[in-house]
Structure 1
Amino acid sequence: MPLKLSLKPGERFVLNGAVVQNGDRRASLVLQNKASVLREKDIMQADEANTPARRIYFPVMMMYLDEANADRYYDEFVRRLTEFMQVVKNPQVLADCVGASKQVMDREYYKALMTTRRVVDYEDERLGKNVGSGV
């Protein structure tokens, strides 16, 4: 199934590990086959993984972007997820954590990334950060 990306002027994204930037006008791309695509707003640098939920998100993002080496990031994901789940009491957030774990086990890394994104949003809300301002 093709994936259509609608890009804003200057918007960047990662496509199979390569950083690509749109020109000065809106554009649409249609990807006809499976590819790892991540929009700029969903990309996290290693130094931005500075909260418990972000420390879960980051290894999932790396598994998605570097699927051939996903095992390299798995232990970090499990450790951080376990630590987080030991202190969080919100049933929906715990369900998202369990869901993300299942998705990672099934190698559905993009789905796991979007699930852990909800966990980051929850944490941002609890910490009083602006939600929706990027990961």
Structure 2
Amino acid sequence: MPLKLSLKPGEKFVLNGAVVQNGDRRGVLVLQNKASVLREKDIMQQEAANTPARRIYFPVMMMYLDEAGAARYYDEFVLRLTEFMGVIRNAEILTDCVSISKFCMEREYYKALMLCRKLIEYEDERLGNVPSSVPAGGDKR
């Protein structure tokens, strides 16, 4: 099934590791086959991975963007998820953590990444953070 991206003027996204930017008008891009695509608003810089949930999001994002090198990020992901699960008591969030782990083991990194957003939202609510976005700069989906 094709993936249709509606792009704002100047919007950036990553497509199979390449940073692509839309021109000065709205545009539509249709991808006919499987590709790793991540919008600018979903891209997190390493220095922004500064909370427990964001430290889970970052290696999952890297596994998604660099699937061939996913093994390099997997151990960090496991460590951070284990730490997070060790202090969380919310059953729904713990279930999401298990699902994230399952998706990563199945190499369904995009699905894991979208669930990681829930962890960040949960964490922000509990810590009283007023996030500018989840995770790194833009509006929520």
Task: Report the TM-score, using the length of structure 1 for normalisation.
Answer: 0.96
Question: Secondary structure of 2:125's match?
Answer: helix
Q: Would the aligned equivalents of 1:121 and 1:132 in 2 still touch at CA under 8 Å?
A: no
Tell me the equivalent position of 1:85.
85
> Number of residues paired by the alignment?
135
Tell me the equivalent position of 1:130.
130
Q: Would the aligned equivalents of 2:42 and 2:134 in 1 still touch at CA under 8 Å?
A: yes
Q: Would the aligned equivalents of 2:120 and 2:134 in 1 still touch at CA under 8 Å?
A: no
Alignment of 1:20-99 (within 5 A): 20-99=20-99
Alpha-carbon offset, residue 130 of structure 1? 3.3
The percentage of counterpart residues that share the same residue type is 76
Deviates further, 113-122 or 55-64: 113-122
Please give the alpha-carbon distance, in whole angstroms, between the structure 1 residues aligned to 2:113 and 2:134.
13
Deviates further, 115-124 or 45-54: 115-124
Structure 1 segments of 4 or more deviating over 6 A?
A: none
* 1:31-81 C-alpha deviation (Å, 9 max, x unpaired): 001100000110000000000000000000000000001011000000000
Root mean square deviation, CA, Å: 1.1
Task: Report the TM-score, using the length of structure 2 for normalisation.
Answer: 0.92
* 1:89-121 C-alpha deviation (Å, 9 max, x unpaired): 111111110000000011111101111111111
RCO comparison, higher one (Cα < 8 Å, 6+): 2
Query: Structure 1, unaligned stretches of length 5 or more?
Result: none
Alpha-carbon offset, residue 24 of structure 1? 1.3
